[in-house]
Amino acid sequence: MAGSADYNFVPGVATPHVVATEGSELVLANGRRILDGGGGAIVTNIGHGRPEIAEVAARSTSSVDYVIPPWNTPPRQALVDRLVGSWLPTGLDRVALVSGGSESVEAAIRLAHAYQVCSGEPDRYKVIGRWPSYHGVGIGGLSAGGHRGRRAGFERLLLDFPHVAWDDPDALEAMIEAQGPENVAAFIAEPIIGAAAGCLVPPADYFPRVEAICRRYGVLLIIDEVMTGFGRTGRNFAIEHWGVTPDILVGGKGLSGGYAPMGGIYTKTTVTQALADKGQAFMFFTYGAHSSACAISDRVLEILQDEDLVARCARMGGVLQSRLHERFANHPHVSEVRGMGLMLGLELVAERDPHRQFPVEAHLAQTVVREALERDVWVYPAGSGDPVHDAVMLGPPFTITEAEIDRLVDVLAASIDAAVASIGL
């Protein structure tokens, strides 16, 4: 099956070899079927192996292949129409499409600064981020992000962007004052913190207060929905749970459900008008808005709508959450089950009361993931050092069945026990 060249970029890391993807499962070269409880990297939403998508990919590629991003094509127009007409929060009607989450974050940071410069505020370049958080691996996103593990070793490359605690609006206001509002372009936040913390959900008044603070200081509010967007939390976008509209919304993963590399930023006409008034262009990425990727994404969104899958995500998320609560409410090494829709996390600890984490070097979350894979289930590791060392995330396709949920929860329980036993206390 495998050729002679080493597929893995870093030597010594063996990874599964997937030869087919079907429904909620990945089929390996050796015939094993892996239940995709993490939806890859919390991506797959309409399920794997949809023939309708393969058909759209073939058809769209045979009519148009590459066209430079600023020019239009029928799939590009159809996708922008569907996004603005049916998906994006009211008021966000300008769309720039890219090829993934990190590109989206970089574009959002660049847009925020360009907006400030064009509005006569050339010193506003800092983007305030949070501990913990994750905004991808571009230098802007890594700098604004608060994932200690993924920043480690790159400190010399990072921009001087400040960070505040993830749940404290007063700390944000104090930081804007301390930096000088005239130096702050934007604040960036995930509605529910994913990879860095395993689905931390903020207090109910957090985002409304943050929105008011950003408005007061002329700081743009960037909401990073790369993981939460396009239905994952049971609403089109997670920020809608708090009735807040950002200045720039950032998306990725769910837009194409894993069928094409896609991402995008979505903003208000007032933001792009500021650039237009100054004759300031907004440079594209060569593969941005790829026409076939747009056709595929448009069909993915259509399937989500036709099959009412966002509502199904909310419903199956409720089922999964209650099974997790039943199984882990009294588990000695699970301190919390949390999240929304089908973006759920379990925080893993050495001891619940008093709260004591395993040392970061023990790599408990990674060990749980390995144990689960040995039992033919994929779950997604999370945690980034303080304040959350170890968590696992579940983000299966919205089409997951109750029987698959049972299998997922059973394997997760066995894997946590095996991982803790292997590490010792």
For ligand PLP, the closer of residues 136 and 198 by Cβ is 136
Among 114, 221, 226, 265, binds ligand PLP (CB under 6 A): 226
Is 136 one of the binding residues for ligand PLP (CB under 6 A)?
yes
Confirm or reject binding of residue 135 to ligand PLP (CB under 6 A).
Answer: yes
CA–CA gap between residue 282 and residue 248 (Å, rounded): 15
| Residue number of the CB atom closest to ligand PLP | 101
Query: Shortest approach of ligand PLP to residue 253 CB, angstroms?
Result: 6
Among the listed ranges 98-106, 317-325, 342-350, 401-409, the one in contact with ligand PLP (CB under 6 A) is 98-106
Does residue 190 interact with ligand PLP by CB under 6 A? yes
Contact region for ligand PLP (CB under 6 A) — 14-22, 56-64, 201-209, 220-228? 220-228
CA distances in angstroms from 229 to 108, 239, 319, listed in the order given: 15, 9, 20
Q: Is 106 or 173 the residue whose CB approaches ligand PLP more closely? A: 106
Binder of ligand PLP out of 115, 131, 134, 206 (CB under 6 A): 134
Among positive and negative, which fits the CA dihedral 144, 279, 100, 191? positive
Residues in the chain: 425
Q: CB-wise, 99 or 116, nearer to ligand PLP?
A: 99
Q: Return left, alpha or beta for 217; rule: phi > 0 is left, psi -120 to 50 is alpha, else beta.
A: alpha
Contact 89, 249 (CB under 8 A): yes
Give whichever of 223 and 362 is closer to ligand PLP, judged by the CB atom. Answer: 223
Stretch that binds ligand PLP, among 62-70, 128-136, 198-206, 307-315 (CB under 6 A): 128-136
Q: Interface residues for ligand PLP in 290-329 (CB under 6 A)?
A: none
Interaction of residue 230 with ligand PLP, rule CB under 6 A: no
Give least dist CB 290 to ligand PLP, A.
15
Beta carbon of residue 181, minimum distance to ligand PLP (angstroms, whole number): 26
CB count within 10 Å of CB 402 equals: 11
CB 210 within 8 A of CB 187: yes
Q: Indicate which single residue of 46, 80, 105, 111 sits in contact with ligand PLP (rule: CB under 6 A).
A: 105
Footprint of ligand PLP on 24-53 (CB under 6 A): 41
Q: Which is nearer to ligand PLP, 133 or 415 (CB)?
A: 133
> Based on CB atoms, which residue is closest to ligand PLP, 220 or 274?
220
Give how many residues touch ligand PLP by CB under 6 A: 15
Considering only 95-103, 172-180, 300-308, 311-319, which stretch makes contact with ligand PLP by CB under 6 A? 95-103
Whichever of 194 and 396 has its CB closer to ligand PLP, that residue is: 194
**Contact call for residue 345 and ligand PLP (CB under 6 A):** no
Residue 262 within binding range of ligand PLP, rule CB under 6 A = no
Closest CB to ligand PLP among residues 191, 234 = 191
Which of 211, 43, 116, 88 shows the shortest CA–CA distance to 96? 88
Give the C-alpha separation, 339 to 374, whole Å.
26
Applying CB under 6 A, the residues found at the interface with ligand PLP are 41, 100-102, 105, 134-136, 190, 194-195, 224, 226-227, 252
